[in-house]
Amino acid sequence: MEPETSNLSRPSDQNRNPKRPAIRFDNSDLIKSGFWVGQICMIIATVVGVYLAAQEGLSQALLFENLNSKENNFYLQHALADEVSDNIDTLNAYAHQLQDRSVYDIKVLHPVVDDFVWESMKYSPNALETPSHILSAIRRYNSEVALIIKKIEDNQFGPKYGSGLLLALNEKVSEGALHDLIAHYTQLHHELVDAGIDVSPLSNEQGQ
């Protein structure tokens, strides 16, 4: 019979592999509903804040673009109205000369009609923001003026008859397209001033 080996003669498995104390994590906050509610509210607040900031930036950008467009249109339409008005004065003087004087060569009285602004509008991105009925009326006016002057100089129209056509045409565009154009850019001027934009002042007659 083999002698019993004493338990003291062999180190126990427990002594050879001592147990390490388990690391305990305090995750009690993670299971509390208040923690998750706070996190969700923080995320929502961040998303809403970013959205509102983006919306405000977009609104300011659109407002600036709108005011910039109105300012460009104001100066463009003002210049066009001045050009049409000057041409009306020139053509009225030409028509009165035809009625009051007898000239052998009618072409020596040929009027110089300005078209710098009108031609420049072809290349302006703001040109078509002017009401279409105004642009159409001015286009027809320019064409009819050129045709009447040509027929006068080619002796197809007599001086008195041709001058009468010019005077009637000038009166029509003064009371129509030119009047509407001045009213339109005057309205733009009021809107710009109300928005705090510094623009050229209008004459007393236009500002009324």
| 147-198 tens-digit pLDDT | 999 999 999 999 999 999 999 999 999 999 999 999 999 999 998 888 888 7
- pLDDT at position 17: 56
Residue 121 CA to residue 128 CA, distance in Å, equals: 9
Mean pLDDT of the chain: 80
Alpha-carbon separation of residue 4 from 10, 11, 12 (angstroms): 12, 15, 16
Contacts of 32 (CB under 8 A, 6+ apart): none
C-alpha of 44 from chain center: 35
Phi and psi at residue 27, to the nearest 5°: -110, 25
Write out the two tokens for 16.
């050879």
- What residue segments make up the domains of the chain, in order of their start? 69-207
Q: What is the DSSP letter of 125?
A: T
The count of other CB atoms within 10 Å of the CB of residue 173 is 23
CA 82 from centre of chain? 23
Angstrom distances, CA of residue 207 to CA of 83, 85, 87, 96: 19, 17, 23, 31
pLDDT band, very low/low/confident/very high, at 8 (cuts 50, 70, 90): very low
| Lowest mean pLDDT, pick from 2-6, 15-19, 40-44, 118-122 | 2-6
How much of the chain is in helix, strand and coil states, percent to nearest 5? 75, 0, 25
User: How many residues does the structure list for the chain?
Assistant: 208
pLDDT at 116: 95
Q: Does position 14 have pLDDT exceeding 70, yes or no?
A: no
Q: What is the pLDDT of residue 202?
A: 76
Is it the case that residue 207 has pLDDT exceeding 60?
Answer: no
Which of the 8 DSSP states describes residue 202? Answer: P
pLDDT at 23: 54
33-47, 67-81, 121-135, 176-190: segment of lowest average pLDDT: 33-47
